[in-house]
Amino acid sequence: MLDLAALKELLASPQKIVITTHHKPDGDAMGSSLGLYNFLIQQGHHATVIAPTDYPDFLSWLPGNGDVIIYTEHTEKSAELIANANLIFCLDFNALSRINDMGVLVGESKAYKIMIDHHLEPEDFDDYRHWNINACAAAQLVFDFIVNQLYQPEFINKDVATCLYTGIMTDSASFRLPNTSSTVHRIVADLIDAGAVNWRIHELVYNNASEGRLRFLGHCLANCLEVLPEYNTAIIAVNKNDLQKFDVETGDTEGIVNYALSMANVKLAAFMVERGDKVKLSLRSKGEFPANEICKKYFSGGGHRNAAGGVSTDSLEQVIQQFKTILPEYKKLLKQ
C-alpha cells in the first residue's frame, strides 16, 4: 500500500512510469492518460502511455499522442516498460481483465499501481486509489489528483488542459449526462483558462467524420434499427457484412447508439456489432435505468448506469434474441 505522502515523495524525483487504460480506449481513456502524461513529463519523469489496443483516429490529434505505444503492435517493448516501471497508473478502468493480456504483466509487475477511476466495484490490485463513481470522467479525477491531492495546479498547462477537457467532454456526452455537476463546469472553466480551446476540441472530435462513416450511420438508422415500443427500447444491430461493405474502421461505430436513445420515448438503447467471433454490445439509458446491470448480469461487462458495455460469444441473432428475452424483467422500469 502507498499513502498520499509516500506517493508525493516518490513523484518528487524522476520515476519510470507507465500509464495505461482500458482496451479500445475512448476519449476519456486517452484524454485522462495523455493529460496525466503531459503533467508528468513536465517534471522530468520518464513516462509512457501504453494503450492495450488501437483507438479511433478522431483522438490522434491529442497532445502527446505520437508517444503512445500500442501494446498489440509493440508487445515486447510494452512488456519491458511494464517490468521496469516503478509506478503504473491505471486510468479509467478498475479490473485487470479490461486491459486484456496486459493485465497479467501489470499484475506481476513490482511497480506501485495507482488507480484513478470512476467505475463501480474496483478489483483489489492497486496500491493507491483515487476512485469516485460520482465523477463524470476519469479525466475529472486526474484534474482533482493534480490540483487537490498534489497541489500542483501550475502544471495544468495547455496540453494537460486540452487532454482533460477532451476526456470530460466525451464521457459526459458533451456535458449532458446527470453527473455533469457544477463542480465539473468549474473544472471545465479552469481548463479553458489554462488553454483548452473548447470549440476547437469539439470540432476535432465531433466534426471529423469521413463520408463513409456518415453513410454507415445512414445505413444503421435506415436498415438496422428496431424499435420495441412496448419496452421503450431500441436496438441497432450490425453484422460483419455491413462492416465490410462500408469499410468501417475503429471509431466509426462510436456514438451511433445515442441516435437510438434520442427518440422521445426510448429509455434504453442497444448497439450490437459483430466483431470477429464475438458480439460487442453498447447500452445507453436515460435517467435511473441501470444499463450496467444488464451488461454485468448477462453480457460479461459493466460500466455506468447510463452507459455500459459487454460482449458475447453467441451469434448476433442469438444476442438479439437474448436481449429481447431480458426486457420483460425490466418492463416496469422501462415503462415508468
Any contact of residue 28 with Mn ion (CB under 5 A)? yes
Q: Which does 138 bind (CB under 5 to 8 A by kind): ligand 5GP, Mn ion, none?
A: Mn ion
Grid coordinates belonging to 52: 492495450
- The one segment of 40-48, 170-178, 224-232, 262-270 that binds Mn ion by CB under 5 A: 170-178
Q: Which of 36, 114, 310, 319 binds ligand 5GP (CB under 6 A)?
A: 310
Beta bridge partners of 273: 238, 280
Q: Where are the beta strands (DSSP E) in 119-195?
A: 128-131
Cα distances (Å, whole numbers) of residue 332 to 111, 142, 291, 292, 306: 48, 38, 14, 17, 17
Any contact of residue 293 with Mn ion (CB under 5 A)? no
- The one segment of 187-195, 201-209, 213-221, 306-314 that binds ligand 5GP by CB under 6 A: 306-314
295 or 327: CB nearest ligand 5GP? 295
Assess contact for 165 and 196: CB atoms under 8 A: yes
Q: Which does 307 bind (CB under 5 to 8 A by kind): ligand 5GP, Mn ion, none?
A: ligand 5GP
190 or 249: CB nearest ligand 5GP? 249
Distance between CA atoms of residues 52 and 73, nearest Å: 9
Looking only at the bridges linking them, the beta strands covering 307-312 and 302-303 are antiparallel
Total chain residues near ligand 5GP (CB under 6 A): 12
Q: Which does 260 bind (CB under 5 to 8 A by kind): Mn ion, ligand 5GP, none?
A: none
Distance between CA atoms of residues 200 and 218, nearest Å: 26
- The one segment of 122-130, 207-215, 225-233, 296-304 that binds ligand 5GP by CB under 6 A: 296-304
Any contact of residue 126 with Mn ion (CB under 5 A)? no
40 or 116: CB nearest ligand 5GP? 116
Any contact of residue 51 with ligand 5GP (CB under 6 A)? no
Q: Looking up cell 441501470, which residue turns up?
A: 290
133 or 263: CB nearest ligand 5GP? 133
Per-residue 3-state assignment (H helix, E strand, C coil) for 253-273: CCCHHHHHHCCCCCCEEEEEE
Alpha helices in 16-87 (DSSP H): 27-41, 75-84
Assess contact for 27 and 136: CB atoms under 8 A: no
45 or 98: CB nearest ligand 5GP? 98
Any contact of residue 117 with Mn ion (CB under 5 A)? no
Grid coordinates belonging to 64: 502527446
- For binding to ligand 5GP (CB under 6 A), which residues are involved? 22, 26, 282, 301-304, 307-311
